[in-house]
Structure 1
């Protein structure tokens, strides 16, 4: 089974990191709009399975630990022949609010590998599945904006998202002529496991706006760093 072909009139997406939070709601919202979605998780939990069951065959689940090169290669093999209109990498982690001098080396490596290196490895491994004119997108954050870093806190997470943005810029430069839209998305501060219970936004509020941006930007050239309203986020 493949994700299908975009010339049937049905849009196809692959969402990396869909077990909960923003990725889960993104999968649901795309399916609600008629997209067929392959959704990955390290381990599909009850919420994702229930979502897939409720989406009338429009959501297919796949297992992926994004930091594993072997699992990434295996997923690429399973998706051979698929044609995607959207490849969206959502997975990320946070390890708390330590000053950078107190961050253990292992923690630094874990966050950087998960939040910056692995998303770009994923794009490289799967980019050929995206149709010409399709979209390659990564969930970033305004906390990755260097010019907006005027308040203290969460130094490692901020650094990982800034590194992600820089690597995505390099990716976009390398593939400037591939005919694909490239997006970094800031969804706002959401009440998720990563965003915390006191965040001002709920994923069900922010993600429909994010999908509006994805659909509106389809076919746009170059790389853009946009918020959920489609407005540019300063680098």
Structure 2
């Protein structure tokens, strides 16, 4: 009698920002595909822990407030020796639809720190856990595309995602020879707390497509800005 080994079970991912919404569904989807997944939540997440209980030991939960550099450093220490095939950073807040002239300084700072600075700090802190040939991916948005900014609204959120894209471009340029695939992912307008109840997409429909893109692009060189269908999003 012959036996076969399923090497896909050796794949390991860290999903940062998985307490709810797209990050939670991505962690669940990767588990379904037999990845070993570490997923982080800012606070105790009943949904994430419930998902972990259905994943037959393939999902472990870590606590992380990614805007706190000390917590990032502590997570890095806890994961010392871990080899990642995928580091996926998911974080975004939206503080409403105000023209930029009406945005308080404190709101501007909060959104930029959460949506742009903190994801790149997270990547910088955890990147050495990613194996050669592994993938570093960050959840972006078509809203960050300058060339597609042709409709009014959500100026601060759009600016934060454009800043995220620019920072990721700088990161990719500086680390061009590290052997990592680098991706910015636009998942589409999903029905989440951030996307709102009228969004046209459901996470359980769009996230499997995102996972397909992550798996298909593994090993690809350079930085790409792709949508859930693997199509290039213009900068």
TM-score using structure 1 length: 0.96
Q: Provide Cα deviations, 1:151-207, integer angstroms capped at 9, x if missing partner.
A: 000000000000000000000000000000000000000000000000000000100
1:1-235 equivalences in 2 (<5 Å): 10-235=10-235
**CA positional deviation for 1:8:** 8.9
**CA positional deviation for 1:46:** 1.3
Which ranges in structure 2 are unaligned for 5 or more consecutive residues? 1-6
User: Aligned equivalents of 2:115 and 2:150: distance in 1?
Assistant: 21
Which moves more between the two structures, 97-106 or 7-16? 7-16
Q: Provide Cα deviations, 1:65-91, integer angstroms capped at 9, x if missing partner.
A: 000000000000000000000000001
Q: Provide Cα deviations, 1:115-165, integer angstroms capped at 9, x if missing partner.
A: 000000000000000000000000000000000000000000000000000
Aligned residues, how many? 229
Q: Are the aligned partners of 2:176 and 2:222 in contact in 1 as well (CA < 8 Å)?
A: yes
**CA positional deviation for 1:9:** 5.6
User: Aligned equivalents of 1:127 and 1:22: distance in 2?
Assistant: 22
Q: CA RMSD in A?
A: 1.0
**CA positional deviation for 1:103:** 0.5
User: Aligned equivalents of 1:223 and 1:201: distance in 2?
Assistant: 26
Q: 1:205 to 1:61 in 2, by over 3 A?
A: same
Which ranges in structure 1 are unaligned for 5 or more consecutive residues? 1-6
Q: Are the aligned partners of 1:44 and 1:61 in contact in 2 as well (CA < 8 Å)?
A: no
SS across alignment from 2:10: coil
Q: Are the aligned partners of 2:9 and 2:35 in contact in 1 as well (CA < 8 Å)?
A: no
**CA positional deviation for 1:45:** 1.6
TM-score using structure 2 length: 0.96
After the TM superposition, which segments of 4 or more aligned residues of structure 1 sit over 2 Å from their partners? none
User: Aligned equivalents of 2:132 and 2:144: distance in 1?
Assistant: 28
**Which residue number corresponds to residue 3 of structure 2?**
none
Q: Are the aligned partners of 2:8 and 2:34 in contact in 1 as well (CA < 8 Å)?
A: no
User: Aligned equivalents of 2:79 and 2:8: distance in 1?
Assistant: 18
User: Aligned equivalents of 1:118 and 1:61: distance in 2?
Assistant: 20
